[in-house]
Chain A
Amino acid sequence: MEAFVSALTIFVLALFVGFEVISKVPPLLHTPLMSGANAISGITLVGTLVTSGMKLTTFTTILGLAAVIMATANVVGGFLVTHRMLEMFHTKKEVK
């Protein structure tokens, strides 16, 4: 129960931090915000790594492999595509 309450505390506080930080992002950058946040949601990779490295049964190993592939594609693809988009934004004065 104690672990539950501390996890709940972290969860709720992080929601508030998220609202504060993200509501300041202008509409100009909403697409990169979305794909950047999306890449961060690939953090689920961290959880998949532990379960897929424990090698308990073949079934969990296969599940783990699929999960690691999907989460890694999410992380790598998400950050790369966000980077590609953000590099294109500049003002007239900035050298291309």
Chain B
Amino acid sequence: MPREYINLFYLVASVCFILGLKLLSHPRTAVRGNLLGALGMLIAIVVTLLDRRIISYEVIIAGLVIGALIGAIMAYKAPMTAMPQVVAIFNGFGGGASALAVGAALEEALKGGFIEEIDIVFTVSAAASGLIGGISLTGSGVAFAKLQGLIEERPILLPGRHAINLALLIVCIALSVWLIVNPVFSLPYWLMVIVASVLGILLVIPIGGADMPVVISLLNAYSGIAAAGHGWVLNNSVLIISGSLVGSAGFILTALMCKAMNRSLANVMFAGVGTIVATESESDSIYAGRVKSASPEEVAMLLEGARKVIIVPGYGMAVAQAQYPIKDLTDLLESRGIEVKFAIHPVAGRMPGHMNVLLAEVDIPYDKLKEMDEINPEFKETDVVLVIGANDVVNPLARNSSDPSNPIAGMPILNVDEARSVVVIKRSLAPGFAGIPNPLFAADNCLMLFSDAKKAIMDLVNALKS
């Protein structure tokens, strides 16, 4: 097929991607949007296979079959609680594929095939996508390992890490310059990809688990930009368009997540937040004698007398797999005429929107899942708030933004303390990710139900039934 026709089909594919993303803005049209995106991808792939430059299909078919099997198995086997790490690993695949494919294109170009002449646009974009692709590959790998619990989730801080990272970045740039000014062999490129891969690891290990929503969003942006860079190398419009679409999606989410924590991207990436944990004495001065513990039966009585209940889920719900009994509890309360809503903090969980997916999985209607700004005025008229496995996102200390030592100062929170009663289901008084005590637990209107989240909800359901 002549190049012009191929490019026309690429335009069709790009339109599919844009419309598909647009349809993702409403849950009713989102399934169609995703299918439209997949259709666009299919068009782009089929048209590409008709390219005259392709002379052999064995490798391609083998790659497509193996890749499709890996992707399909991972997509179907993964439980919904594992979505953050699944997205991370797919993301790493995308970035890695860009780095390898650009390297292959470079090898061929150096041998005189593939393009007429190696110009500066080719080498600069090759170096850029190799760098970003390498970081994205190993960075996503580390994020996957942290989320899967294969390595320590808390920040791992190397001494002099900023200096090391800066040095690695300078080495990458130097190798890129070498490639650009003297494009005769591919060694600088591959060295640069290796150094970038090391940099990707070092950039992500000092970031703690609760900051993963930012990291995953940013890595997503990187893999998009790497794909766009790949498009510059090949002078391919559909790659450039889709890459920059994905890049902007990633950057938007990164910015939203940082805003939801009132922290700068630099603070999330480099400050190593999550290493300092409050001392006993600090916690004692806040909690001593003021924390009231309740049994499931007492909480059930409280719920029976309520007219409106708001549930605040956090990462603890995902860890305990408590979403299943939460569905039973919701049904039970609603069958007694009690209004139940869910308050979702933007950074609850390990990726943007994590809680919504888990609650949708257990058939909780999405119109009950409320965003922070929408639900915050409602806490005042709420009888009981159930906080399940959340901590920092309901910590009233965040409103006190004057103390610079407070890592969550100024972070927008769910104002659960305004409700008539708050029940916090938590295993202990241990601090959350920010490492600071939570005065909510010592508030007059707060009861602690010390238990595993899943067990606590099942006990509540049983107590309500009897």
Contact = CB atoms under 8 A, between A and B. Distances in A.
Contact of B253 (A34, A66, A69, A70): A34
Contacts of B97: 42, 44-45, 48, 66-68, 70-71, 74
Contacts of A91: 365-367
25 contacts: A27-B356, A29-B30, A31-B351, A32-B30, A32-B34, A34-B87, A34-B216, A36-B34, A38-B246, A40-B37, A42-B41, A42-B93, A45-B41, A48-B63, A51-B105, A53-B51, A53-B59, A54-B54, A71-B97, A73-B74, A74-B97, A75-B71, A77-B72, A78-B75, A80-B75
Q: Which A-B residue pairs are the 6 nearest by beta carbons?
A: A72-B67, A68-B63, A18-B248, A77-B71, A53-B54, A30-B353
Contact of B252 (A23, A41, A85): A23
Contact of B91 (A22, A27, A41, A68): A41
Contacts of A56: 107-108, 111, 113-114
Interface of A: 3-4, 7, 10-12, 14-19, 21-57, 59-61, 63-92, 96
Contacts of B253: 30, 33-34
Contact of B247 (A7, A10, A18, A51): A18
Contacts of A38: 87, 90-91, 94, 220, 223, 246
B86 A81 contact: yes
B44 A43 contact: yes
Contacts of A33: 21, 24, 249, 253, 352-353
Contact of A46 (B45, B64, B224): B45
A43 to B, nearest CB: 4
Contact of B45 (A28, A45, A63): A45
Interface of B: 14, 17-18, 20-22, 24-27, 30-31, 33-35, 37-38, 40-41, 44-45, 48-49, 51, 53-57, 59-60, 62-64, 66-68, 70-72, 74-76, 78, 80, 83, 86-87, 90-91, 93-94, 96-98, 100-105, 107-108, 111, 113-114, 121, 216-217, 220, 223-224, 226-228, 230-250, 252-253, 256, 344, 346, 351-354, 356-357, 360-361, 363, 365-367, 369, 371
